[in-house]
Amino acid sequence: MTVTDEDDAPLLREPLLREYGATQGALPPAVQQSFKRNLGTAEAFSIIISIVIGSGIFTSPGAIDANVPSPGAALVVWLVGGILAWTGAATMAELGTAIPGEGLYAMSIMPCDRLTNATLGGVQPYLQYIYGDVFGFLAAWTWVIAIVPASLAIGGIVFVESIYSAIGVTDQSDKMAHKLLAMLVMIVISMANSVSTQFTTRLNKFFVMTKFAAILAIVMAGFGVVISHLAGRDRVTEPGSQDWLTRSWFGSRNTVGLDGSEIKWSNLNGWEMLGHCSAALYGALWAYSGWDKAIYISAEMSAPARQLPLTINTAIPVVILSFIAVNIAYYILLPWSVVSTTDSVAVTSVSHLLGPVVGVAAAGLVCLVVAGSLLGCSFVASRMVVAAANSNWLPGFLGRLGSVSGQSPSTGDAPVNAIIFTTGGTMIFIFFGNFRALVTFNGLAEYTFFFLTMVGAIILRIREPQLRRPYKPFILAPILFAVVSGFVVTRGGMFAPQQAGVLVAVWAIGLGFYGARRQWLGKRRGA
């Protein structure tokens, strides 16, 4: 078969011909999209901030605290996760400006905690360019089958957990009632996304600022407690709420998980502690998800070689400082023995400080944040499925717009089939998983391919030194990311064998699907 320009198109671009989605290299200039380069540094800065700061900062601190021996160690984990995101963003920006990929698509109006990269192409075009078609397919397959539904399942679980935390229930997240409510939340979100693209984008704008309001409220509450104590007006009645003042921030203490199990750090050896620390780091990495979106901003920058590094080197540090400040506030507001026992730390903190009534209001605010993330994530997740179907990586009916039959425009331009497909996968993950297990699974899945991408960036430095790189960070950036992420993925997989086993099964099924579908399409074209 003659190789055409369309054969070189990356997965998440509408092909001119319905060929199989494999590619053999970078996108040719003839089919590249063009954008008006009118995006300034300030606009790019705000876009990255709005994408990276999401619901993770309100939910994952409990999972992190449960896997570290002290609050100080938890803050170190947040710092390490931020540095990893920083080096990763710099390297992804190098690849994004050197290898043609996708442009900015609805990023400014559809911020999503961790899935926008799926709609825009993410690491898939770069893995195809560096390693070949199979790696590109596996990346796309993993996002569609595993990362997308797992991330949505996490959001649905967090939504329900926030409501229960407002009334003081933090230890029953694995109950069937919680799971059914989380499924119901996803059905409502899917129905909202099924109306039309315009309706979804307008609705999502309502949620954008809620995350910033929630962060500011938590930090100010912690600051207020400190000021109150310094002013001699401390009226806190529960001794545990003064742990931040009376106990060592780096002193080892036992931690208690959601199931009531206690980790005695003095009895663990170094290898076991590293396993727990890798699990904690997955929680931080999940909260930082979105750093890889910096590559798409370059498509609309007036001077990307100058503006892109400036944007990355200002936006990511601001996020790191914000996350550390919020976590310090959590440890000020809550007894340290409570932090590890909830997956809705923000709501629990406010409820503990100001009472259940204000806690309900806080739960409402966090739910708005989570709902906005779910809406945006569901939006881009369904578009990813459509793009994969249009490139023949998935069955064609998943790419239809409008009604399930594809014959009636009653639902506008919403990809209903893709939404149903994604929602079904999300239901499975909600039923069989829980917040902390899914965070680890999501981290394993994402960072396996992020690791391969960073190694690929190093390989390209050697293999194609002549490749034009408008932005070229110091080589230490991809090396540092590759070393840390490689260790985290390896140790994390050993520490969480069930999640690793599920991920390997997803890859095995994907490879079988890849071979079978390619063979079937080849016979069909021959006929």
What is the per-residue DSSP string for 402-461? BSTTSS--TTTT-BHHHHHHHHHHHHHHHHH--HHHHHHHHHHHHHHHHHHHHHHHHHHH
CA distances from 29 to 8, 128, 267, 268 (A): 11, 17, 60, 56
Q: What tokens does 11 get?
A: 């997965």
Question: Which DSSP string corresponds to 320-337?
Answer: HHHHHHHHHHHHHHS-HH
**Helices 497-526, 476-495: inter-axial angle, 10-degree rounding:** 110
Helical H runs in 99-237? 116-120, 124-131, 133-142, 148-166, 176-193, 197-207, 210-230
pLDDT along the chain (527 residues), means of 10: 38 37 39 51 74 81 92 96 92 80 38 38 80 88 90 88 73 77 89 63 59 82 84 53 87 80 84 87 88 67 76 89 94 90 83 79 80 75 80 80 51 75 93 89 92 94 90 90 91 89 95 87 74
What pLDDT score was predicted for residue 480?
Answer: 93
d(CA 378, CA 355): 34
Q: What is the DSSP letter of 146?
A: I
Exposure on the CB side of residue 372, measured as CA atoms within 13 A: 27
Which residues have C-beta within 8 Å of that of residue 423, sequence separation ≥ 6? 152, 186, 187, 190, 378
Which residues have C-beta within 8 Å of that of residue 512, sequence separation ≥ 6? none
Predicted TM-score of the model (pTM): 0.78
d(CA 93, CA 499): 30
What pLDDT score was predicted for residue 299?
Answer: 61
413-444: buried (b, 16+ CB within 10 Å) or exposed (e) per residue? ebbbbbbbbbbebbbebbeebbbbbbbbbbbb
What pLDDT score was predicted for residue 83?
Answer: 93
d(CA 271, CA 394): 41
Q: Are 352 and 333 in contact (CB under 8 A)?
A: yes
What pLDDT score was predicted for residue 486?
Answer: 92
The backbone torsions φ and ψ at residue 402, rounded to the nearest 5 degrees and listed phi first, read 90, -140
The backbone torsions φ and ψ at residue 404, rounded to the nearest 5 degrees and listed phi first, read -60, -40
Topology of domain 42-526, per CATH? Amino acid/polyamine transporter I (1.20.1740)
What pLDDT score was predicted for residue 521?
Answer: 75
**Helices 416-432, 356-390: inter-axial angle, 10-degree rounding:** 130
Question: Which DSSP string corresponds to 275-321?
Answer: HHHHHHHHHHHHHHTTGGGHHHHGGGBSSHHHHHHHHHHHHHHHHHH
Domain ranges within the chain, ordered by starting residue: 42-526
What pLDDT score was predicted for residue 113?
Answer: 40
Evaluated on CA atoms 224, 226, 231, 237, the torsion sign reads positive
What pLDDT score was predicted for residue 68?
Answer: 93
What pLDDT score was predicted for residue 502?
Answer: 95
